[in-house]
Amino acid sequence: MPELSNALFFKAKCITILGMQSSAEQHTFSDEFTSPSFGRMSFDEMFARMIEYMHENGGQKYNLIIGTDSFLNTDTLFVSAVIIHKVGHGGRYFYKKMHRRKIENMRQRIFYETSLSIELASLVRARLNENGFKKLPVEIHLDVGTNGDTREIVKEVVGMVNGSGYAAVTKPDSFGASKVADRHSK
């Protein structure tokens, strides 16, 4: 599982960059996710719902999309979204909220968002591989674009994602981060 080790490396790098203590700032993607359709659920329940959805119409083409966005308040709220996109026919999504200490530096927040998305994609990808969905395309949607404040770090975060073995999508096409995750980060 080289993707998972890359994700853990990037997470450790972000923790170092952000000055976070891993024990105080730890999160886990095994706890609660939320689905607008099914409510709160564990990672295992979310995964089962994903598989169930893809089996409903076995002949359809699906993509897995992961995106993370953040909202700065007295702390920083990170929202990671997992989207099963039935190409041409909508999809289903799940999200997880994580509160962290306030990270005012936008560059650090974007790197942390990216590392969370890579880590989550690696966990879901490993489960998909075990369940016969090894060829399912995986995209990581980044909340960065060539216009605006994030334009100077686009290459770096795209490189992180591509180096972890995933396709990187940026604004204006990164709806997983800029629309779905963003919707639940306010």
Handedness of CA 53, 54, 56, 57 (dihedral sign): positive
- pLDDT band at residue 11 under the 50/70/90 scheme: low
Q: What is the pLDDT of residues 103-130, one digit of tens each?
A: 999 999 999 999 999 999 999 999 999 9
Q: What is the pLDDT of residues 77-93, one digit of tens each?
A: 999 999 999 999 999 99
- In the chain the first and final C-alpha atoms are separated, in Å, by 34
* Interstrand relation of 138-141 and 91-100 (parallel, antiparallel or unpaired): unpaired
Q: pTM of the full predicted structure?
A: 0.84
- Cα separation, 181 vs 47, in Å, equals 18
What is the pLDDT at residue 59? 85
Token code pair at residue 74: 């007295």
- The percentage of the chain sitting over the pLDDT mark of 70, rounded to a whole number, equals 84
| Segment 7-21 mean pLDDT | 49
Tally of residues, the chain = 186
* 180 to 6, 95, 184: CA distances (angstroms): 25, 9, 7
More confident residue, 15 or 101: 101
- Cα separation, 119 vs 82, in Å, equals 12
What is the pLDDT at residue 6? 54
Strand locations in the chain, DSSP E? 33-35, 39-41, 62-72, 76-86, 91-100, 138-141, 167-169
What is the pLDDT at residue 184? 86
- Cα separation, 30 vs 122, in Å, equals 13
- Cα separation, 88 vs 116, in Å, equals 27
Residues 6 or more apart whose CB falls under 8 angstroms from that of 62 comprise: 54, 84, 85, 86, 87, 91, 136
* Per-position DSSP letters for 121-144, written without gaps between them: HHHHHHHHHHTT-TT--EEEE-S-
